[in-house]
Structure 1
Amino acid sequence: MSLNENDSVIERISEIRPSQERKSELELLQEQKLEIVQSHTRNYLNSILEQNASKPMRIQSLNVVGAQNFRESFLKRQLYPLLVNDKLTLENLLENIDAVKLNFLKTQTISNLNFKIDSAYFKSRSTPANGIDLLTTLQLIPVKNFTAKIGTNVGNGEGDAYLTVNYRNIFGAGENLTFDTNVSSSSIGAKTRSTYLLNFNLPFNNNPNWRLDNIAYSTNRLIDWCVPHEQHITGFTNRISSQYEFFNHEFSVENILRTIKLTRPTTTYTNQFTVNDDILSQCGESFKSSFIYSLKFDSRDNPLLPSSGVLFKNSTELAGLIPLSSNSEKNAKFIKNQFEFQLAQKLTSNNLNFFNFSLRGGYIHNLSSTNNTLNIMDRFYLGGPNDLRGFALNGLGPKLSGSPIGGNFFYGGNLSLFNHVPKTSIDSNFKIHSFVNFGKLLNIKDLSDHDNFYENILKDPSVATGFGIVYKHPVARFELNR
């Protein structure tokens, strides 16, 4: 019996419900016959499970095919649910097999898992009289140890070449090494000139629910939505994150060297802004050493286009822990907090119509006593298709000589209604989309000043409304709005 990533052990047979529209009579008869066979098989398996769900069982032996690919300590930790024999029943056994499958999938070490259960020839003395001794065999099908991808991307007046190399399960305990690079020519007009990333990650202490990432990276990006300049970032990040079903935590430590350099405007720039004092004061090198904690609760049925569930995320960053430069003005020192809330609710039971409501916000408090200006890479920006539709990319908020300079406080919200497209199938990935966006970005000195809070922050937010078509692709969400 085979275990797939999206299948549970108890529900072995998936129900097929193809569209009934525009099908011949023969196709309908074949589908009805298949549904009848599946229904009988499902009912038979359910009856066996119900009759023997509470029957005592004991695993007499556990044979693991493919164990040579893993370290012993790592293997025992992932197989732990099957190594517990106390008060074991058939229902518990199937749940434990599901838990083992999930453990290995979280560690990214297997592509599939097969299992086989047989009755033992001889009963152990410790097995109850009405119990059954089992001989269990697990087959672990490992992922490919080495993969490499190379190619080019061309589109929207840009082009680049990329290389991705993955080396998995290096030492037999889920250790992965990933190298990712993306390089473009300045003559092509790509905004991301170069990106290099090296990530060594593994399950923390063999625990499948926690993962440790050690990431070194370097990126050089061209910014043209404000005064044209290049941002170069080189840094190292250590991150520990959980992989539970709903609640998850993430702890990160970042050490980054950042460089800003003005560039000469060319015809490739969509906006021609005048150089101002703000960008001039930011040129050169700066350092940031920070600790970040993030909390996330996610019960949505789909992260791309949810029809039900709730998402809440909160992230707090404390920068300036380690002074990387003797010049205090070059060290970022602040505390930043951001949150995001999303609610998805069905309007009809058949999942054809539903709405999404989201609200985001954030605030940065400068802790530096010598530098009253936040680095432009640390500020908030608002506007564009990814956060506030209907406005130019990062175009909201304070400006200097017509160029966006960002802010230290923002909020933004969105209410979207998704409706079924007429004359399309029930399971169509296309939806009619109507939305209302609102938000505001500004610089404030003191949140405790309530008069300024209501007068400047809550008054006159930017608002945009529109409609369009949304397509839910398995890996992305595409929108065409007006």
Structure 2
Amino acid sequence: MTGSSLDTTLADSVSSTGSSSAGSPKPSATASSGFPALNLDAFKTRVDVINIDGVGRTRNDILDPLVRPLFEANTFEEVVLRAHTVRRRLEELGAFKAINVFIDTSSGDNATRDGLEVTYSVVETRRVVGGVNTSIGNNNDGSVVLQLKCPNLFGRGELFQTEYEYGTKHTTGFQTSFAKPLVPWLWPQPRLTSTLFQSGFDAPWSGFRETDRGLHVDLSFKSRPSIAHSVRWEAVWRDISALTPSTAFAVREECGHSLKSSLKHILTWDQRDNPIVPSKGTLFRLQQECAGLLAGNVGFHKHELELQLNRPVPLLSDVVIQASLRAGIMKPLQKIDTVTCINDRFFIGGPLTLRGFNLHGVGPHSEGNALGATTYWNAGLHVYTPLPFRPGAGGFGDYFRAHLFANAGNIGDFAYTDDHYKNFNILLNRLRYSVGAGIVLSIGHMARFELNYCLPFGQQSGDQTSPGLQFGLGVSFVYLKMQI
């Protein structure tokens, strides 16, 4: 049930209890009907009874602490706000597919003078849910995903899920996971997820195929409503093999088996109104990973930073300026028996990162195969505007935006010193950049398509450019790197 539906239900409840206002909790102006607006905070009341209708297999020991905060309300305004908060917590539990809220005066032998009765009418999810859907990757590839879910498996918000994926670029894999809210009466709810997986995919830009088998345990929580954390330990057995007989010898040297045991932390602060084509808001993401813990022959520590700022132009609210930056550095552990592999390094270039260059076509190469590097940065300045003359305004045309951009970046195995000024010059040396214009099609909060005309500059030996028209499809672009 959407938030707007809940607002309507609460408005009806307010009317039934004698209030003439169903808008803001503290209206200060005259209502549109001409009657004086009432201050809901002035109505002293309390909650006598809470009912949850439609519960079958969901356990009472989980529901009771979720709804109990309603008993602490002392005014009608607090009842309305807390009822809405409780509903959101019930939704986050993942046990119900529909939740309706009703507020009425209390009745019965135990009713008090100012008492209210709050009723949640719920519909529980099915025991088994399956489906077939498609997904879009970051490398212009698509996949068909077969999915089977068992929500609310043991009645306390658990989720058992298994998936099989088959992609257009030889991407295959399956994963089976079990997620459980640790303290479900807290909001946001901390959640523990354990996953067993196998995946295989081709990396034609580097001439190898990778097959991963392993497991990971992830603890996700929020320190504040807009600040999310993910702490993950993973153990992965990785097999790299040459994709073609023409794969470069430098890549063949990286082939073989490796075992990575790592601890990763991701901090995300996201205030954007849309993750694909935002019109306002800020994104900050910091990702840190340390491999070589407990077991395995892969050892490194890696740090990645992502920033993005979106601002509408004053007096031109439909025009949005976007500034973005992504950077990373990786250093091997000082242990003799550990290594780093090509699939641990950074790559840049492509229609959704450093435009005007081939996918992962910037940086060290050998015989046409990208080798990756241990340091990179990638920045962009973008301007999004409505299409000229606004064809299809108010309908399908609103999904399209005209796009002007300037991108810059650098990648390499840089030798840093204690001189910060010298390090800054190293990062700017042999700079690649591009400018261009095009059209962006956004598909809700899922993915975006781009068709741009690009002019690349600063090409270095080994770089692979793609001047002219360039098409891109994916969920990741210059400032957003989605990882599973």
* CA distance, structure 1, for counterparts of residue 140 and residue 273 of structure 2: 36
Equivalent residue for 1:232? 211
Structure 2 unaligned spans of 5+? 12-29, 454-484
Distance in 2 between residues matched to 1:394 and 1:282, nearest whole Å = 18
Do structure 1's residue 294 and structure 2's residue 266 form an aligned pair?
A: yes
Alpha-carbon deviation of 1:66?
A: 2.0
Matched, 1:149 2:122: no
Whole-angstrom CA distance in 1 between matches of 2:33 and 2:216: 49
Q: How much has 1:368 moved relative to structure 2? A: 3.7
The answer to whether 1:221 aligns with 2:201 is: yes
Contact 1:430–1:471 under 8 Å retained in 2: yes
TM-score normalised by L of structure 2: 0.80
8 Å contact from structure 1 (residues 222, 229) kept in 2: yes
CA distance in 2 between counterparts of 1:435 and 1:118 reads: 56
**Distance of 1:358 and 1:480 partners within structure 2:** 20
1:60 and 1:116 map into 2 onto residues whose CA distance is: 14
C-alpha deviation, 1:359, in angstroms: 0.4
Task: Say whether 1:397 aligns with 2:363.
Answer: yes
- The structure-2 alpha-carbon separation of the partners of 1:398 and 1:139, relative to structure 1 and needing over 3 Å to count, comes to same
> In 1, Cα distance between the equivalents of 2:307 and 2:205?
28
Q: Relative to 1, partners in 2 of residues 1:100 and 1:338: Cα closer, same or farther, differing over 3 Å?
A: same
Q: What TM-score, normalized to structure 1? A: 0.81
Letter in structure 2 aligned against 1:481: N
- Distance in 2, matches of 1:115 and 1:321, equals 49
Report the RMSD for the aligned CA atoms in angstroms: 3.0
Change in Cα spacing, 1:223 to 1:433, as seen in structure 2 (3 Å) is same
- Distance in 1 (CA, whole Å) between partners of 2:299 and 2:128 is 41
* Alpha-carbon contact 1:107-1:208 (below 8 Å) kept: no
Q: Contact 1:241–1:251 at 8 Å: present in 2 too? A: yes
Task: State the 1:69 CA deviation.
Answer: 3.0
Which residue pairs with 2:468 in the alignment? none
The separation in 2 between residues aligned to 1:108 and 1:447, in whole angstroms, is: 51
By relative contact order (CA 8 Å, sep 6+), the higher-ranking structure is: 2
Contact preservation (8 Å) 1:408, 1:442: yes
Q: Is the alpha carbon distance of 1:61 and 1:382 closer, same or farther for their aligned partners in structure 2, counting shifts above 3 Å?
A: same
Pairwise CA distance, 1:452: 5.2
2:319 equivalent in structure 1: 353
Instruction: Tell me the residue number matched to 2:449.
Output: 478
Instruction: Answer yes or no: is 1:64 the counterpart of 2:52.
Output: yes
Aligned residue type for 2:104: D
Write out aligned runs for 1:236-385 (5 A).
236-243=215-222, 245-265=225-245, 274-276=247-249, 278-324=250-296, 331-348=297-314, 351-370=317-336, 374-385=340-351
**Equivalent position SS for 2:79:** helix
- Partner Cα separation in structure 1 for residue 197 and residue 115 of structure 2: 53
Per-residue deviation, 1:284: 1.2
Residue 205 of structure 1 aligns to a residue whose secondary structure is: coil
- Assess if the C-alpha contact under 8 Å between 2:213 and 2:238 holds in 1: yes
For residues 203-218 of structure 1, the aligned pairs below 5 Å read: 203-206=181-184, 207-209=186-188, 210-218=190-198
Q: What is the CA–CA distance in structure 1 between the aligned matches of 2:134 and 2:62, rounded to whole Å?
A: 38
5+ long unaligned stretches in structure 1:
14-41, 185-189, 266-272, 325-330
1:201 is the counterpart of 2:171? no
Percentage of identical aligned residues: 25
Partner of residue 52, structure 1:
40
Please give the per-residue CA displacement for 1:313-343, whole angstroms capped at 9, x wherever unaligned.
Answer: 001111111123xxxxxx1111100010000
Q: How many residues align?
A: 426
TM-superposed CA distance for 1:447, in Å, is: 5.1
Distance 1:159 1:314, change over 3 A: closer
SS in 2 for 1:359: strand
